[in-house]
Homo-oligomer: A and B are copies of this chain.
Amino acid sequence: IHESNSFASDFVSSLSVDTQTLQKQIEELSTFSDTPAPSVTRVLYTEKDVLARGYIKNLMQLSGLTVREDAVGNIFGRWTGDEAELAPVATGAIEAINVLKRSGFKPRKSLEVIMFTSEEPTRFGISCLGSRLLAGSEAFAKSLISTVDSQNISFLEAARSAGYAKEHDDLSVVFLKKGSYSAFVELHIEQGPILEDEDTSIGVVTAIAAPASIKVDFEGNGGHAGAVLMPNRNDAGLAAAELALAIEKHVLESGSIDTVGTVGILDLHPGAINSIPSKSHIEIDTRDIDEKRRNTVIEKIHQSAITIAKNRKVRLSEFKIVNQDPPALSEKSIIEAAEAASKELNLTDKLMISRAYHDSLFMARISPMGMIFIPCYKGYSHKPEEYASGQDIANGVKVLALTLAKLSLQ
Query: A224 to B228, alpha carbons, bound, how many Å?
Result: 39
Query: A287 to B274, alpha carbons, bound, how many Å?
Result: 10
20 extra A-B contacts, CB within 8 A, seeds A237-B263, A263-B277 = A191-B227, A192-B228, A211-B225, A224-B356, A225-B264, A225-B285, A226-B287, A226-B356, A227-B356, A230-B259, A231-B257, A238-B244, A240-B241, A241-B241, A241-B266, A264-B272, A264-B273, A264-B277, A265-B271, A273-B283
CB-based nearest B residue for A222: B264
- Interchain CB contact under 8 A, A266 and B264: no
Query: A242 to B272, alpha carbons, bound, how many Å?
Result: 19
Per-residue B-contact encoding for A182-195, CB less than 8 Å = 1, 0 else: 00000000011000
The size of the chain A interface, using a CB distance under 8 A, is 52
Q: Which B residues lie within 8 Å of A262 (CB)?
A: 225, 235, 273-276
- Interchain CB contact under 8 A, B265 and A227: no
Q: Which B residues lie within 8 Å of A245 (CB)?
A: 238, 241-242, 245
- Interchain CB contact under 8 A, A273 and B285: yes
**Chain B nearest Cβ from A292, distance in angstroms:** 18
- Interchain CB contact under 8 A, A381 and B272: no
State which residues 208-248 of A face B: CB under 8 Å: 209, 211, 213, 223-231, 235, 237-238, 240-242, 244-245, 248
A42 within 8 A of B: no
A7 within 8 A of B: no
- Interchain CB contact under 8 A, B227 and A192: yes
A100 within 8 A of B: no
A57 within 8 A of B: no
Per-residue B-contact encoding for A258-302, CB less than 8 Å = 1, 0 else: 011111111010111111110000011101000000000000000
CB-based nearest B residue for A356: B226
CB-based nearest B residue for A209: B226
Query: A257 to B260, alpha carbons, bound, how many Å?
Result: 40
Which residues in A have some Cβ–Cβ distance to B below 8 Å?
191-192, 209, 211, 213, 223-231, 235, 237-238, 240-242, 244-245, 248, 251-252, 257, 259-266, 268, 270-277, 283-285, 287, 355-357, 379, 381
Q: Which B residues lie within 8 Å of A284 (CB)?
A: 273
Query: A273 to B321, alpha carbons, bound, how many Å?
Result: 13
- Interchain CB contact under 8 A, A257 and B229: yes
Query: A273 to B216, alpha carbons, bound, how many Å?
Result: 12
- Interchain CB contact under 8 A, B285 and A274: yes
Given A226-B357, A287-B225, A381-B224, the answer on whether A263 and B244 have CB atoms closer than 8 Å is: no
Given A230-B251, A244-B238, the answer on whether A264 and B274 have CB atoms closer than 8 Å is: yes
**Chain B nearest Cβ from A210, distance in angstroms:** 9
Task: Pick the residue among B229, B268, B273, B283 that contacts A260 (CB under 8 A).
Answer: B229
In the A-B complex, the 7 residue pairs with the closest CB atoms: A241-B241, A225-B262, A226-B355, A241-B244, A225-B285, A192-B227, A273-B283
